[in-house]
Amino acid sequence: MSSYTYEEEFKKADFNSTPLAKGEYEACTFENCRLNEADLTEMKFIECSFIECDLSNAKVSKSLFQEVKS
């Protein structure tokens, strides 16, 4: 089951060791988060901000990034 997260802030989170819940994220802020090697397959990020995050090698197959900021 997919989740919906709205206007939440994630700071210094390591989503490699604790995966981000599958679902849709809208107007969320990710700051100094580790998303490298994270499985973001089929997830949606709408109007989210990624500030100083590491997304290298993240799996983004069938993912949606709409109006995101970095």
Q: Tens-digit pLDDT profile for the chain (70 aa)?
A: 579 999 999 999 999 889 999 999 999 999 999 999 999 999 999 999 999 999 999 999 999 999 999 8
d(CA 37, CA 58) in angstroms, rounded, equals 4
- What number of helices (H) and strands (E) belong to the chain? 0, 7
d(CA 62, CA 6) in angstroms, rounded, equals 21
- What tokens were used for 29? 């802020």
Distances (CA, A) of 8 to 5, 24, 56, 61: 7, 12, 22, 24
67 Rama sector, left if φ>0, alpha if ψ -120 to 50, beta otherwise: left
